[in-house]
Amino acid sequence: MRYLILVLGIAGAIVSGLALHVHYSTATEPCDINAHWDCGVVNHSPFAVMHGVPVAAIGIAGYLLIAALGFFRQRFSLMVAVFAGFCFALRLTFIEELVLEVWCLYCVISQTLIALLLALSIGWLAAEYSWLRRAARQTVA
């Protein structure tokens, strides 16, 4: 499980890196598909920066943290970090849908990755606690 989380975390960092490239680029991007799918519009909007830091840079750091927590089997910390990332991504999703009315392909991929990571981290943590409960019952009996 830890290797799957590591791979998904690295994939998320790469996708966030691509979004960061769009943030600083002025060229036409490959994800400029139509009026409803344009990474440039999303990544150049005022919502693409928080306190002077590009949201994509925050994503890179977050995904690398998630990858490290998963690799070192820090299940509870992983689940907390992934849940925070999921809530952050959900906020950005609502902004894309309701405010900007434009979708970023990289953002949608990132949102899918963080949702998968949330499911995996909850399952991994639940499996650990289930195993611990069984072990505790066996020692008591």
Amino acid, single-letter form, for residue 22? V
Strand partners, 53: 50
pTM over 0.75: yes
How many Å apart are CA 66 and CA 61, to the nearest integer?
9
How many Å apart are CA 21 and CA 46, to the nearest integer?
16
- The terminus-to-terminus CA distance of the chain in angstroms comes to 30
Mean pLDDT over 109-130 rounds to 94
Identify the CA nearest to 125 among candidates 65, 85, 79.
79
Strand partners, 37: 103
Domain count, the chain: 1
Mean pLDDT rounded to a whole number for the chain: 92
Domain that holds residue 19: 2-140
Report residue 34's pLDDT band, with 50, 70 and 90 as the boundaries.
confident
Region of poorest pLDDT, from 24-33, 53-62, 79-88: 24-33
CATH code of 96's domain: 1.20.1440.130
Mean pLDDT over 14-22 rounds to 96
